[in-house]
Structure formats: structure tokens, C-alpha cells
Amino acid sequence: MADHSFGPLGWFSAAGFVILSLLYVVDMYAIASWPVSLALTGALALLAAIGAVALWYGHDPTASERRTPRTE
């Protein structure tokens, strides 16, 4: 069974996805002005989501390693 975990880099990517997604919705419904275009905000949110998923399923280099006792 795979052991998926996030380190600080994974959490940063996930937070970036959430924040950029919220900014995308705010800009899409014209609730407030956002200086970046709607397409660029959506593309960056998608890139952050892909990064978060890749760090979740791959090996996040900043995640702490589980300690397992070695038997010889």
C-alpha cells in the first residue's frame, strides 16, 4: 500500500491551488478587480493543482520519512 504524504512544499502547492481558485472565481464573477487576466489565473491554478497531485502521489522531497526498524 502506498504511503502518500505532504511536506511543506506540497502544502504550499495545495494552498496556492485554493487561493488561485478563489481568485479565479472572484475575477470570473467580477466581484472585485484582480490585475491578472482570467485565463492566466486559471492556468496558474491548474498548474498548482497538478503540482499538488504530483507531490501527493510522487515523492515529496520535503516530507518527513517514516522510521522503520531494520531487521537483519
User: Average pLDDT by consecutive 10-residue portion of the chain (72 residues)?
Assistant: 74 93 90 85 94 84 67 66
3-state secondary structure of 45: helix
Residue 15 lies in a domain: yes
Residue 62 lies in a domain: no
Question: Domains in the chain: how many in total?
Answer: 1
Number of CB atoms found within 10 A of residue 27's CB: 19
Residue 72 lies in a domain: no
The pTM for the full model equals 0.77
H helices present in 1-72, as ranges: 8-28, 38-57
Residue 47 lies in a domain: yes
By the 8 A CB rule, do 41 and 20 touch?
A: yes
Residue 50 lies in a domain: yes
Residue 65 lies in a domain: no
How much of the chain exceeds pLDDT 90, in percent?
39
Q: Which domain holds residue 22?
A: 8-57
Residue 39 lies in a domain: yes
Residue whose C-alpha cell reads 504511503 in the numeric block: 3
Residue 3 lies in a domain: no
Residue whose C-alpha cell reads 488561485 in the numeric block: 20
